[in-house]
Structure formats: C-alpha cells, structure tokens
C-alpha cells in the first residue's frame, strides 16, 4: 500500500540540483579496465558509464554513519528521512546519444516524488529522482531513479535466507554468464562512482548492523554487468531504453548468473543467485 509522504517532506518535492563534469580519457580507461574490456572504436564510452559522472562530492566530515552524505539542511538535495538504511531500487534509462571522450557534461537532478509503502520488514520510503545528462548541451541520457529508505533490521535477524543447493538454469536464455563478484570489483566500482556506502566494503558493519551475510554488490554494478552482457551480444551502445529493478541483494563472493533473451527489438534480462534467487530483472529496447 502506498501513502502520501508526511507534510514535512513535501518541500523537497521539486528540489533540483545541477552538477557539471568532463568526460576524461583516463577515467574512462579505469572503467574499461574494471570490466576487462576494450574501448569502443568510435571514441564513445560504454552504456552505464553515466553513473560515474556528476557525482556528489560531500566532504568526509559530512558523511553519516553508513557512509552516505548526511541528509537534511537547506543545502541538502535529499530529504532528512528518519529511516537509516538506504538502497538503490530501480532505474528507467533512455540512451539518446553515445557519450564521447572529451565532452563537457551537465546533469540536472530533480526530486519527483516521495512515497511511503508498507513492506514485509516495515515502512519503506521511496524517493524518485529524475535526471537529465547533457553532453555539450545535447540531451544524452535520461534516467528516473528510485532510492528506498528502510528502518534498521532488528538485532539477530538476517536480511537474506541462506543459499540453497539449487542451481540456476541458464539453458532457456540466449546469452548466459556466471561470475563471482569479488571484493576487488566492489572496491573499484565504489571508487569509480565515489560511493562510500559501507555495505560495499565494511563487512563487520554490513553483517552486524545491516543484517546481510556478506558485502552487498551495488545495484548499479549488477545493472552494469547486464549492460556488459548486452554489449557482448548486440555490440556497443546498442540499447535505446533499459529499465531495471532490484529484487534482492547480490552478495560478494557468491556466484551470480546473468542472462538475456531477445524477441525482435525487445530484450529481457535477469540476474539470479546460484540457487535461483532473483537479484534483478530488466527489460530493454534495441
């Protein structure tokens, strides 16, 4: 059930933030190195690279216990919601033109809505953010992103069930890749996106405070791995739209299965744990 946000959060709806950046060759090379791939021949960067641009740059002294910037105050873009646990929930992305090395970048972000829902573990608050990324003035990427805030886990409870002995069956999919996300991969992605959320690198905090059984793979990292699978199957910058939604958390060190299948210009993606537990679902248009 969805309810309207408390009146105290209404003033954050419509709040905007404008950031500028520059698409540097050295930074793009670090992204390519992270995913063991070569650069596109046309001087563009892979789809998903926009997550490395126009990043928040809060000082270390302005970070909260979980590693995210402190919320609230006149200068804060995000509202000071009382729920302490933050997770990326979904993204709807339009790739309108490839991002090119050497371009000046501008991103305008706007809070579209704040909505409360009642989940199995308590109250959930979803903040929907609309983002437009322009390169040299041209609209290149349009994204609507949802961030979810949750109450703390009760002490002694686990966020995820223990893995079972089942194995994901990739035979019904056109392309299938299995990999084990490592601490190194998570570290590099955190560095690329300037993400200091402790669930991606601090195991003690992740297990004892957040209730996970291991470090959590970033939602946008799982989405990027799906985009990489699309690149291997369809070529560079082949997607027009990409909608992805997190279902549950992928855990570092546990096998992750990525798969896709196409029907005409429509593509379906899944990311599953080894035992078949769904991690992410996505769809795309070529």
pLDDT (tens digit per residue) in 88-132: 999 999 999 999 999 999 999 999 999 988 766 678 899 999 999
Q: Is the pLDDT of residue 78 over 70?
A: yes
pLDDT (tens digit per residue) in 264-273: 999 999 999 9
3-state secondary structure of 149: strand
pLDDT (tens digit per residue) in 135-176: 999 999 999 999 999 887 765 566 666 766 678 888 889 999
Burial class for 82, CB neighbours closer than 10 Å (0-12, 13-18, 19+): exposed
- Say what the pLDDT of residue 217 is: 97
- H helices of 87-182, in order, are none
Q: pLDDT-derived band of residue 275, with 50, 70 and 90 as boundaries?
A: confident
**How many other C-beta atoms can be found within 10 angstroms of the C-beta atom of residue 148?**
18
The CATH number of 2-285 is: 3.10.129.10
CA distances 150 to 21, 61, 83, 87, 118, Å, are 31, 24, 5, 8, 10
The domains of the chain are located at 2-285
- Going by the DSSP 8-state scheme, the letter that residue 216 receives in this structure is B
What is the spatial distance between Cα 3 and Cα 26, in angstroms, rounded to a whole number? 46
What is the spatial distance between Cα 212 and Cα 220, in angstroms, rounded to a whole number? 18
What is the average pLDDT across 205-221? 93
- Say what the pLDDT of residue 179 is: 96
Closest CA to 194 of 99, 46, 52: 52
Q: Which of 15-19, 78-82, 156-160 has the lowest mean pLDDT?
A: 156-160
pLDDT > 90 in the chain, percent: 69
From start to end of 120-200, where are the E strands? 122-135, 138-150, 175-179
- H helices of the chain, in order, are 7-10, 25-34, 183-193, 203-208, 219-234
Q: Are 284 and 227 in contact (CB under 8 A)?
A: no
- Say what the pLDDT of residue 71 is: 79
What is the average pLDDT across 191-219? 94
Burial class for 100, CB neighbours closer than 10 Å (0-12, 13-18, 19+): middle
Q: Are 277 and 162 in contact (CB under 8 A)?
A: no
């Amino acid at each position: 059930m969805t309810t309207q946000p408390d009146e105290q959060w209404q003033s954050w709806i419509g709040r905007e933030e404008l950031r500028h950046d520059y698409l540097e060759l050295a930074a793009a090379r670090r992204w390519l190195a992270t995913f063991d791939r070569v650069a596109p021949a046309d001087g563009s960067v892979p789809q998903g690279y926009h997550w490395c641009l126009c990043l928040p740059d809060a000082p270390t002294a302005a970070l909260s216990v979980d590693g995210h910037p402190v919320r609230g105050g006149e200068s804060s873009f995000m509202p000071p919601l009382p729920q302490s646990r933050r997770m990326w929930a979904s993204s709807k992305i339009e790739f309108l033109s490839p991002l090119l090395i050497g371009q000046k970048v501008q991103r305008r972000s706007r809070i579209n809505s704040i909505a409360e829902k009642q989940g199995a573990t308590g109250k959930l608050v979803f903040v929907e953010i609309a983002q437009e990324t322009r390169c040299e003035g041209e609209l290149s990427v349009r994204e609507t992103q949802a961030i979810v805030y949750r109450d703390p886990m009760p002490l002694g409870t686990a966020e995820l069930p223990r893995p079972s002995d089942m194995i994901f069956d990739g035979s019904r999919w056109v392309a299938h890749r299995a990999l084990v996300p490592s601490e190194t991969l998570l570290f590099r992605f955190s560095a690329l996106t300037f993400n200091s959320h402790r669930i991606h690198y601090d195991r003690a905090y992740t297990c004892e405070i957040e209730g996970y059984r291991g470090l959590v793979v970033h939602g946008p990292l799982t989405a990027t791995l799906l985009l990489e699978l699309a690149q291997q199957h369809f070529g560079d910058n082949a997607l027009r739209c990409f909608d992805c939604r997190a279902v549950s958390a992928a855990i570092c060190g546990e096998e992750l299965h990525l798969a896709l299948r196409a029907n005409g210009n429509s593509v379906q993606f899944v990311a599953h744990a080894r035992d078949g537990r769904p991690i992410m679902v996505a769809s795309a248009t070529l």
